[in-house]
């Protein structure tokens, strides 16, 4: 990457993501023009070669990173040039740097810094003496030379030599080649060690990290990194690295000293000091930061995957639903909604205070269930949830009610209840009742209701409060955007909370759509969107295809077909001897579907002079006008009876719902008070992540393998046939409905943005800085130039020569 133009960037990204350069170039052009990822993925398939949503997001992320890298290169080059220290060799190294970390390594010796021992030694004129350490053979000769530098600021020979050593120590610790080599060596050979240092109460959650815990740095899983970070922040743990210090120091001595033949020990002592005082603390900090960043990235990815699958759960439409928001002191809040989500009734009952109150509540609730025709009861999973479930199960059985119940994730319901949106939607209801309405609506349409809540509040991840909140928020917003646009939004019933996630629509425009709808009534055509304030032609192009009008003037408005392709859609119908009226009439719709299923898409595209992907999507959309893609997914599991810990025993096979998926397994709700842990060893192959196999909302059969009533823990197993293909991809769905591409990170180490580049990126490169620094220029040869030599063999070689592991 010699310059800053997009052509070079798109080639680099294409190599990284294993796609064609012209696809990346097209995607970058579309992104630069202001098109959104959902719009490009759905309606510009011919231009991008059918890049998926996730690929486009990767391209967007890498594009920003590489542009930032190019800009930083120019800043670094300019800064060094202004110092008069930019050599051709250093300029070339800057050009070749493919990671910000590599670039910062090169810049480190020239970065303006606070006063250090080395800078003070230079100010006292001791830099020439530092060079003499490499050319003067004996200690006696050095002391004689040191005497020549004595003055008021350098009163003794020892002070002169110490200043020279400080300069050598700093310059050795700042060499880019050494830092890059030992950074990788630390990762490959180091271990992570922990020690319990807190009070007994604080230590309880971290007992597994006692003095016996020691694990190779490169093998520490993400969730354990975050757990140790939390233990440190709580004062329970002391975390440290164990590395072969003497071997590392010997490598530095061999590299810096090169072929210089000296009998004194000043160079070795200076380098050892530079390693212990400057380099090791810096590399340890960088490595910890890299581990944390990678762990956070993984945790955020898991959260995003779980959120996506939660939002994509099939809606239980067609039910009159009773929502129960459990509670002890404040009682259980109840709300009943009709099939469209309108509130029919609401109240509050005390189910746990006394038998008399519970009995009265049972009779009154049973009466309302019969009165309104309730067929499903949605119970929030918060405080008093289990007692409310017991009550509901008993009521259904004793009253002979023809309905089922379901446990619903109520995370964020209380926040929504007091929000401005909730007040606007339910102005006449008390804040406590609004929570019950939300719990009912979450079952009726999980996506429409869940988008009203900050996705970080939904709680389907791991260590979500320990990760970078800005990055977490951005990722979850992308997930919501992807899912909302994949499913589509009914324009005449959508809330501003879901409209603002539609491609091209801001919060302001979303509110303007609601205002237009209130003033002019329901939309009858997508074209009417152009009459909405601040929704111009550009925004219309981005959003129109994702907004649906179920009972509009044009049946195509109820499909994902974009208005720009209506002419092609009509051409498809004409070629098949049909018209738009055939899509309105149920009698002719089935005939139309049959014809569409047999069409030759490639041939039809040629006849219409249109792209094959566009025609394929149109044909699919015309077969199911008004279809909700979530209808193809399995419905959530409902129950009539409850189980208790006493009802289960080891060996029992039960059916449950996946409540959460994390790095080490999945938590499954199968109807008892606590969720069982399905450890990944009980259902994953060695190379699989739990989210490759299971998703939030999946209904599975599991075997109970352990029950610990005292600790409230249940162990589960779901043994299955191991996949034959070792490269099998996860079967879970993307927001776009396609199989998810769970490509593992190639670098295994670096944080977000610090990815491996090219085929040789696993090798540790011995890049000489060519900085103009005399020590560096004098010693650009020797042991440190053994490029791409096997790191393990090299470390062993040094260890055999006297280096010893701590």
Q: What is the mean pLDDT of residues 243-260?
A: 94
802: how many CB neighbours lie within 10 A of its CB?
9
Note the pLDDT of residue 796.
53
Q: What is the mean pLDDT of residues 434-439?
A: 96
**pLDDT tens for each residue of 299-315:** 999 999 999 999 999 99
Residues contacting residue 126 through CB under 8 Å, at least 6 positions apart? 149, 154, 160, 163, 164, 167
Integer angstrom CA distances of residue 617 from 51, 287, 543: 15, 47, 17
Residues contacting residue 320 through CB under 8 Å, at least 6 positions apart? 336, 337, 338, 339, 344, 372, 373, 374, 375, 376
Note the pLDDT of residue 667.
93
Note the pLDDT of residue 457.
84
Binning pLDDT at 50, 70 and 90, where does residue 795 land?
Answer: low
Note the pLDDT of residue 636.
82
Q: What is the torsional sign of CA 455, 458, 459, 465?
A: positive
Note the pLDDT of residue 738.
43
Binning pLDDT at 50, 70 and 90, where does residue 3 land?
Answer: very low
Q: Which range is least confidently modeled, 143-157, 179-193, 749-763?
A: 749-763
Residue 61 has pLDDT above 60, yes or no: yes
- Class of residue 194 by CB neighbours under 10 A (exposed 0-12, middle 13-18, buried 19+): buried
Three-state DSSP state, 301: helix
Residue 192 has pLDDT above 90, yes or no: yes
Indicate whether this model's pTM tops 0.85.
Answer: no
762: how many CB neighbours lie within 10 A of its CB?
13
Q: Which range is least confidently modeled, 248-257, 552-561, 575-584, 792-801?
A: 792-801
> Whole-angstrom distance between the N-terminal and C-terminal Cα of the chain?
41
Binning pLDDT at 50, 70 and 90, where does residue 793 land?
Answer: low
537 and 530 Cβ atoms separated by less than 8 Å: yes
- Of all residues in the chain, the percent with pLDDT exceeding 90 is 72
Q: What is the mean pLDDT of residues 206-228?
A: 93
Three-state DSSP state, 785: helix
Residue 388 has pLDDT above 90, yes or no: yes
Q: Identify the residue with better confidence: 31 or 748.
A: 31
**pLDDT tens for each residue of 467-506:** 999 999 999 999 999 999 999 999 999 999 999 999 999 9
Q: Which range is least confidently modeled, 294-298, 721-725, 745-749?
A: 745-749
Phi, psi of 349 (to 5 degrees): -135, 150
Note the pLDDT of residue 319.
96
The residue among 98, 116, 105, 118 whose CA lies nearest residue 283 is: 105
Residue ranges with strand state E in 41-161? none
Integer angstrom CA distances of residue 669 from 325, 447, 525: 18, 21, 44
Q: Identify the residue with better confidence: 494 or 785.
A: 494
The residue among 337, 327, 320 whose CA lies nearest residue 438 is: 337
Residue 800 has pLDDT above 90, yes or no: no
254 and 783 Cβ atoms separated by less than 8 Å: yes
* Domains present along the chain, CATH in parentheses: 6-82 (1.10.10.650), 117-299+766-800 (1.10.3500.10), 551-625 (no CATH), 645-717 (2.40.50.140)
Residue 778 has pLDDT above 80, yes or no: no
**pLDDT tens for each residue of 353-369:** 899 999 999 999 999 99
Cα 754 from Cα 765, distance rounded (Å): 16
Binning pLDDT at 50, 70 and 90, where does residue 756 land?
Answer: very low
Q: What is the mean pLDDT of residues 505-517?
A: 98
Binning pLDDT at 50, 70 and 90, where does residue 803 land?
Answer: very low
Note the pLDDT of residue 210.
85
> How open is the CA angle 452-457-458, to the nearest 5 degrees?
80
Q: What is the mean pLDDT of residues 189-202?
A: 94
Residue 779 has pLDDT above 60, yes or no: no
Q: Identify the residue with better confidence: 598 or 321.
A: 321
What is the β-pairing status of strands 489-490 and 547-548? Answer: parallel
Q: What is the mean pLDDT of residues 538-556?
A: 96
Mean residue pLDDT across the chain: 87
758 and 231 Cβ atoms separated by less than 8 Å: no
Q: What is the mean pLDDT of residues 149-167?
A: 97
Binning pLDDT at 50, 70 and 90, where does residue 789 land?
Answer: very low
């Amino acid at each position: 990457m010699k310059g800053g133009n997009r052509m070079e960037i798109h080639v680099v990204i294409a190599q990284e993501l294993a796609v064609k350069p012209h696809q990346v170039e097209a995607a970058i052009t579309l992104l630069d023009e202001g098109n959104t990822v959902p719009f490009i993925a759905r309606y510009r398939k011919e231009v991008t070669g059918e890049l998926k949503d996730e690929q486009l997001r990767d391209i967007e992320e890498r594009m920003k990173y590489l542009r930032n890298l190019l800009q930083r290169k120019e800043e670094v080059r300019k800064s060094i040039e202004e110092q008069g220290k930019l050599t051709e060799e250093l300029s070339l190294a800057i050009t070749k740097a493919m990671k910000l970390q590599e670039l910062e390594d090169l810049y480190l010796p020239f970065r303006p810094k606070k006063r250090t021992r080395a800078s003070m030694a230079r100010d006292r004129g001791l830099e020439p003496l530092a060079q003499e350490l490499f050319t003067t053979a004996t200690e006696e000769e050095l002391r004689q030379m040191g005497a020549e530098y004595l003055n008021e600021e350098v009163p003794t020979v020892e002070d002169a030599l110490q200043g020279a050593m400080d300069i050598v120590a700093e310059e050795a610790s700042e060499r880019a080649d050494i830092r890059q080599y030992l950074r990788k060596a630390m990762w490959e050979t180091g271990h992570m060690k922990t020690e319990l240092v807190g009070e007994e109460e604080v230590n309880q959650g971290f007992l597994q990290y006692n003095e016996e815990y020691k694990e190779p740095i490169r093998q520490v899983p993400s969730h354990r990194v975050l757990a140790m970070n939390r233990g440190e922040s709580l004062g329970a743990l002391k975390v440290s690295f164990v590395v072969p210090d003497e071997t590392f120091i010997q490598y530095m001595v061999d590299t810096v000293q090169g072929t210089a033949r000296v009998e004194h020990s000043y160079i070795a002592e200076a380098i050892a000091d530079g390693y212990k005082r400057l380099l090791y603390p810096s590399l340890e900090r960088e490595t910890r930061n890299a581990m944390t960043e990678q762990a956070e990235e993984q945790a955020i990815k898991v959260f995003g995957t779980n959120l996506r699958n939660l939002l994509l759960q099939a809606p239980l439409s067609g039910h009159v639903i009773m929502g129960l928001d459990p509670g002890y002191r404040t009682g259980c809040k109840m709300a009943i909604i009709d099939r469209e989500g309108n509130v029919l009734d609401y109240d509050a009952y005390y189910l746990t205070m006394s038998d008399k109150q519970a009995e009265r509540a049972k009779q009154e609730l049973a009466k309302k269930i019969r009165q309104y025709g309730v067929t499903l009861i949605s119970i929030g999973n918060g405080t008093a949830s289990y007692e409310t479930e017991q009550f509901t199960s008993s009521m259904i059985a004793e009253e002979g009610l023809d309905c089922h119940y379901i446990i619903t994730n109520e995370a964020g319901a209380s926040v929504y209840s007091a929000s401005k949106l909730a007040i606007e939607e339910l102005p006449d209801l008390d804040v406590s009742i609004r929570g019950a309405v939300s719990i009912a609506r979450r079952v009726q349409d999980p996506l429409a209701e869940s988008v009203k809540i900050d996705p970080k509040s939904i709680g389907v991840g791991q260590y979500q409060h320990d990760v970078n909140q800005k990055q977490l928020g951005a990722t979850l917003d992308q997930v919501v955007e992807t899912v909302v646009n994949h499913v589509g939004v009914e324009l005449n019933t959508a809330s501003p909370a879901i409209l603002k996630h539609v491609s091209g629509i801001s919060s302001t425009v979303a509110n303007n759509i609601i205002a237009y709808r209130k003033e002019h009534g329901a939309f009858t055509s997508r074209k009417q969107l152009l009459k909405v304030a601040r929704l111009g032609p550009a925004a219309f192009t981005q959003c129109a295809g994702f907004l649906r009008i179920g009972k509009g003037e044009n049946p195509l408005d109820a499909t994902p077909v974009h208005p720009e392709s209506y002419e092609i859609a009509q051409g498809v119908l004409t070629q098949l001897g049909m018209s738009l009226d055939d899509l309105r009439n149920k009698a002719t719709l089935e005939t139309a579907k049959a014809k569409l299923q047999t069409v030759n898409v490639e041939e039809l595209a040629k006849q219409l002079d249109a792209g094959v992907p566009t025609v394929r999507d149109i044909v699919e959309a015309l077969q199911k006008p008004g279809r909700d893609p979530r209808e193809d997914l399995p419905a959530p599991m409902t129950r009539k009876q409850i189980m208790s810990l006493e009802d289960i025993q080891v060996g029992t096979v039960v059916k449950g719902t996946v409540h959460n998926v994390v790095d080490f397994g999945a938590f499954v709700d199968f109807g008892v008070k606590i969720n069982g842990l399905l450890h990944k060893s009980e259902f994953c192959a060695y190379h699989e992540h739990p989210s490759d196999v299971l998703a939030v909302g999946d209904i599975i059969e599991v075997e109970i393998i352990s029950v610990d009533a005292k600790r409230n823990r249940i162990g589960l197993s779901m043994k299955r046939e191991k996949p034959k293909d070792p490269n099998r991809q996860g079967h879970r769905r993307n927001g776009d409905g396609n199989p998810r591409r769970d490509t593992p990170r190639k670098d295994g180490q670096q944080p977000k943005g610090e990815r491996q580049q090219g085929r040789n990126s696993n090798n540790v490169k011995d890049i000489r800085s060519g900085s103009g620094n005399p020590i560096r220029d004098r010693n650009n040869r020797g042991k440190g130039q053994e490029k791409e030599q096997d790191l393990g063999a090299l470390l062993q070689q040094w260890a055999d020569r006297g280096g010893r592991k701590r």
